[in-house]
Amino acid sequence: MARGAGTDLAVEDVELPEPGPGEVRVKVRAAGVCHSDLSMINGTVTPEFPLILGHEAAGVVSATGPGVTRVANGDHVVVNWSPACRQCWFCQAGEPWLCVTAEGVACRPRGTLADGTQANVTLGVGALAEEIVVGEQAVITLPPRLPVAEAALIGCAVLTGVGAVRNTAGVRPGESVAVLGLGGVGLSTVAGARLAGADPIIAVDLSPEKEELARAAGATEFLLSDKALPKAIRSLTGGRGADHAFECVGRAATIRAAWQSTRRGGNCIVVGMGARDDAVSFSALEIFHFARTLTSSVYGSADPDRDVPLIAAAALDGSLDLGALVTHRISLADVPAAFDRMRRGEGARSLVLF
Ligand code: APR
Ligand code: ZN
């Protein structure tokens, strides 16, 4: 629980509502610690407090409200933080990741603290908790054979990273890919590039310890991030620059570096979520001259109902190694230490096990 930006986190008791019509209660088995959770408390974005952190989870359905048809008690599920209503303009236009109803749901408080205060929940989920109550559209059934703990990562990092490659960029076999920032999201993007048959896959970070993790996820090259990065990437891509460069940090400087690492006519995809006042600049001439596309990828431009089963199948057949994205298995009390590692750029995903 975060009481405000920059304040100490605490583990607190929250009274959850019974699942109402169309809602389900999920016993969380595991929840990942994502940089977007850190962004809730470090001033990058300005949510309402008190706030239960966490939005990347998998678990077991423990109760269903009236009218629920998608799942039943005992089902293994992953949580989708952008549940599509299928009715709003964006859903009808085939862009469920921009669903406006989901955005509204995400802003509703859920659960009551001992003093009667309503608790807010990150991205409509609040997954760093033993149990959550969400709408049935926000859960997607997992194959029972898939280890449920690691499947938590599918709910944010993997849908985002694999989706950015497949859905947003449409990477084809043999195309060159650069990925800047190798946390859970960037490593998932590397894994997605491997699934797509990209070559080379150039992984970039500030921290040399990320090389091993990146190569395990499928990177064919590793570069340390510095001023000479665009040049280093050009020399690995026939002098041109990458066909696709993915920014998985969420900072103006890395967006600029990714842009400059993209070939003429290539694709620069911003996956990271940055701050309102962190401005990037592009000259009018360079926009014209390089003929690059600059786009962002929100939730991997995914339709989770369609994409989760595909990702789960890849995890089951061994072409996607979810375990390779997890470096720390921790308890709820260790979440502040996980954020400290994240601030230092250490490790990949920390997974809270319940
Ligand atoms: N160049 C390259 N890598 C960098 C740089 C830089 N200038 N600055 C930071 N990094 C690296 C860090 O060393 C770290 O490995 O970016 C990585 C970020 O990883 P995490 O903090 O674990 O973040 P993650 O959860 O993967 O999220 C990445 O996606 O969803 C968004 O809000 C999220 O913006 C965040 C981004
Ligand atoms: Zn996330």
Q: Is any ligand 1 atom within 6 A of the Cβ of residue 163?
A: no
> Which numbered ligand comes closest to the C-alpha of 122?
2
| Burial readout 133-165 (b: 16 or more C-beta within 10 A, e: otherwise) | bbbbbbbbbbeeebbbbbbbbbbbbbbbbbbbb
Nearest one of 6, 42, 8 to 335, comparing CA atoms: 8
Note the pLDDT of residue 103.
87
Note the pLDDT of residue 107.
86
Domain ranges in the chain? 14-155+321-353, 160-298
Q: Is any ligand 1 atom within 6 A of the Cβ of residue 36?
A: yes
How far, in Å, CA of 156 to CA of 36, rounded? Answer: 10
The mean predicted confidence, pLDDT, of the chain is 97
For 110, other C-beta atoms within 10 Å of its C-beta total 20
CA 126 vs. chain centroid, Å, equals: 15
> Which numbered ligand comes closest to the C-alpha of 35?
1
**Quick one: average pLDDT of 324-339?**
97
Tokens of 208: 């040399």
Whether the per-residue pLDDT at 315 is higher than 90: the answer is yes
Ligand 1, atom 36, residue with closest C-alpha? 272
Q: Which of 190, 205, 249 to mutate to test the pocket of ligand 1 (most atoms within 8 A of CB)?
A: 249
| Burial readout 219-229 (b: 16 or more C-beta within 10 A, e: otherwise) | bbbbbebeeeb
Whether the per-residue pLDDT at 222 is higher than 90: the answer is yes
**From ligand 1's centre to the CA of 323, what distance in Å?**
19
**From ligand 2's centre to the CA of 39, what distance in Å?**
10
Span 82-92, pLDDT tens digits: 999 999 999 99
Q: Does CATH number 3.40.50.720 belong to domain 14-155+321-353?
A: no
**From ligand 1's centre to the CA of 22, what distance in Å?**
36
Note the pLDDT of residue 214.
98
Q: What is the ipTM of this complex?
A: 0.98
How buried is 332 (Cβ within 10 angstroms: 0-12 exposed, 13-18 middle, 19+ buried)?
Answer: middle
**From ligand 1's centre to the CA of 181, what distance in Å?**
5
**Quick one: average pLDDT of 65-75?**
97
**Is it true that the peptide bond before 200 is cis, omega within 30 degrees of 0?**
yes
How far, in Å, CA of 91 to CA of 308, rounded? Answer: 17
Ligand 1, atom 20, residue with closest C-alpha? 183
Largest CA distance in the chain: 63
Q: Which residues fall inside 5 Å of ion ligand 2, going by CB? A: 34, 36, 156
**From ligand 2's centre to the CA of 180, what distance in Å?**
17
Intrachain domains 14-155+321-353 and 160-298 with the same fold: no
How far is residue 48 from each of residues 14, 115, 123, 327, measured CA to CA in Å?
17, 17, 11, 30
CATH of domain 160-298: 3.40.50.720
- Dihedrals φ, ψ of 124, to 5°? 75, 10
Span 1-26, pLDDT tens digits: 999 999 999 999 999 999 999 999 99
Read off the pLDDT band of 155 (50, 70, 90): very high
Q: What amino acid occupies position 160? A: T
Span 295-314, pLDDT tens digits: 999 999 999 999 999 999 99
Note the pLDDT of residue 106.
87
**Quick one: average pLDDT of 194-208?**
98
Nearest one of 347, 344, 343 to 43, comparing CA atoms: 343
Q: Which atom of ligand 1 is nearest to the CA of 156?
A: 30
Note the pLDDT of residue 104.
86
Note the pLDDT of residue 342.
96
Note the pLDDT of residue 138.
97
